[in-house]
């Protein structure tokens, strides 16, 4: 019996996506968690995963076709071993470290901007060496290849100047993508501010013990094993929502529904403008080492335009940190249908009174913007205090 593998919904407001490429072909067996292809959305090129073991019967949507959410991309044949398996745990981590056993074609990973530039330069993508994550071809690889060809007097040095914005066309051009991402952000944020009655709470506390612990922990570690402060923030928020589940879930159909797992979305700004907030899955149960690894990986892939469908689909709460840009605090706009966003400001040294004495402390201001339909300020205040306490006991995170 065959069934359709539909265009997934990769977040609120997504209506359609464009197939960029397939990594599978008819007759090929695929396993749960395999990346089967890439679709282009306003959030960038997203790797889409399969959620059951099956055999690809037919490719319904050819590369280049724009397919509405829910419409079939592939037809799958159920394999015997899994015919009665229920497939709904879409949050389980695929195993990204396990490469597919057989690849019918060399799998080509290309960042969108690199694809566009290569097209402008008439460069064949499969002749390029990829230096990005997983061998992805980046803009820099394309530029380097073009320069090398220039130097060797080979074509296509006559490449035109970068095309002016108004001349851009085609669904996957960088400028269109940028504009599409802006529109997607505009739609989501307008809906948020129109529909969600936000309330805001602010909590400033000393991070001295946390930073001391982090410094001690990292002192003797090789770089690849060092912890990021961002991982501590994520874990503290993720652990806290276990006690305050009304901040972890979705407001849908006039009611709040709790999320099963804790998958904080981490707001990541993209260098060309725009942002994404991919989920860090099961952040409440993962070690700080694993979370640091996940953060490093997801930031890298966000900026290379290689996120996976399960990551962008629906984080359960968002954590945004603008502290690196030197601001004291950030008051977030909730990403619907989520109901809360935790904002983290910069760590700053301040005069601090404690036990009748004034001293100098490194402090941070953490905010909560929450949906008043789903929770009240009293619980919000307890939640923020809980986050602060967890952060101040990093050895227990």
Residues that bind other proteins (CB under 8 A): 111, 113, 131-133, 138-141, 144, 215, 218-219, 222-224, 226, 228-230, 271-272, 292, 295-296, 299-300, 303-304, 324
Pairing, β 44-49 against β 307-308? parallel
Tokens of 126: 């499969």
Question: Which residue number, 192 or 302, has a Cβ lying nearer to other proteins?
Answer: 302
| Least distance (Å) between residue 139 CB and other proteins | 5
| Least distance (Å) between residue 176 CB and other proteins | 18
Residue whose token pair is 């280049």:
64
Residue whose token pair is 């071809």:
137
Question: Which residue number, 12 or 295, has a Cβ lying nearer to other proteins?
Answer: 295
Question: Which residue number, 258 or 296, has a Cβ lying nearer to other proteins?
Answer: 296
| Least distance (Å) between residue 319 CB and other proteins | 13
Question: Which residue number, 29 or 226, has a Cβ lying nearer to other proteins?
Answer: 226
CA angle 159, 162, 165 (to 5 degrees): 145
Q: Closest Cα partner for 171 from 277, 269, 74, 63?
A: 63
| Least distance (Å) between residue 133 CB and other proteins | 8
Helix (H) or strand (E) holding 49: strand 44-49
Question: Which residue number, 14 or 181, has a Cβ lying nearer to other proteins?
Answer: 181
What is the 3 state secondary structure string of 149-185? Answer: HHHCCCCCCCCCCCCCHHHCCCCCCHHHHHHHHHHHH
Q: Closest Cα partner for 23 from 88, 80, 108, 93?
A: 108
| Least distance (Å) between residue 73 CB and other proteins | 30
CA-CA distance, 379 to 396, in Å (whole number)? 23
| Least distance (Å) between residue 297 CB and other proteins | 9
CA-CA distance, 203 to 273, in Å (whole number)? 29
Question: Which residue number, 214 or 259, has a Cβ lying nearer to other proteins?
Answer: 214
Give the CA dihedral 40, 41, 44, 48, nearest 10 degrees: -60
| Least distance (Å) between residue 90 CB and other proteins | 26
Question: Which residue number, 63 or 272, has a Cβ lying nearer to other proteins?
Answer: 272
């Amino acid at each position: 019996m065959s069934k359709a593998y539909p265009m997934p919904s990769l977040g609120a407001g997504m209506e359609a996506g464009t197939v960029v490429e397939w990594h599978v072909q008819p007759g090929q067996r695929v396993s749960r968690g395999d990346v089967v292809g890439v679709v282009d959305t306003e959030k960038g090129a997203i790797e889409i995963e399969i959620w059951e073991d099956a055999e690809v019967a037919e490719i319904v949507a050819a590369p280049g076709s724009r397919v509405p959410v829910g419409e079939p991309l592939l037809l799958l044949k159920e394999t015997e071993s899994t015919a009665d398996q229920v497939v709904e745990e879409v949050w389980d981590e695929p195993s990204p470290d396990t490469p597919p056993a057989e690849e019918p074609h060399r799998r080509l990973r290309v960042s969108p901007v690199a694809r566009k530039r290569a097209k402008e330069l008439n460069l064949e993508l499969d002749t390029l060496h990829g230096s990005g994550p997983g061998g992805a071809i980046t803009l820099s690889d394309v530029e380097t290849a073009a320069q090398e060809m220039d130097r060797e007097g080979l074509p296509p040095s006559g490449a035109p100047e970068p095309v002016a914005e108004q001349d851009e066309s085609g669904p996957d051009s960088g400028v269109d993508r940028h504009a599409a991402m802006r529109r997607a952000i505009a739609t989501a944020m307008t809906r948020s501010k129109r529909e969600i009655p936000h309330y805001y709470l602010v909590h400033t506390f000393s991070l001295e013990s946390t930073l001391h612990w982090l410094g001690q922990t990292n002192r003797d570690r090789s770089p690849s094993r060092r912890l990021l402060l961002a991982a501590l923030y994520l874990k503290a928020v993720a652990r806290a929502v276990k006690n305050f589940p009304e901040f972890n879930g979705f407001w849908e159909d006039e009611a709040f529904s709790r999320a099963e797992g804790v998958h904080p979305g981490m707001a990541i700004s993209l260098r060309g403008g725009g942002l994404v907030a991919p989920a860090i899955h099961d952040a409440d149960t993962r070690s700080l080492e694993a979370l640091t690894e996940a953060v490093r990986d997801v930031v890298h892939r966000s900026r290379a335009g290689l996120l996976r469908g399960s990551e962008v689909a629906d984080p359960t709460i968002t954590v945004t940190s603008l502290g690196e840009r030197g601001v004291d605090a950030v008051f977030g706009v909730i990403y619907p249908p989520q109901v809360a966003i935790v904002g983290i400001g910069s760590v700053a040294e301040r005069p601090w009174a404690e036990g009748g004495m004034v001293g100098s402390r490194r402090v941070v201001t953490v905010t909560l913007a929450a949906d008043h339909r789903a929770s009240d300020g009293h619980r919000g205040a307890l939640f923020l205090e809980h986050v602060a306490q967890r952060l101040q006991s990093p050895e227990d995170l």
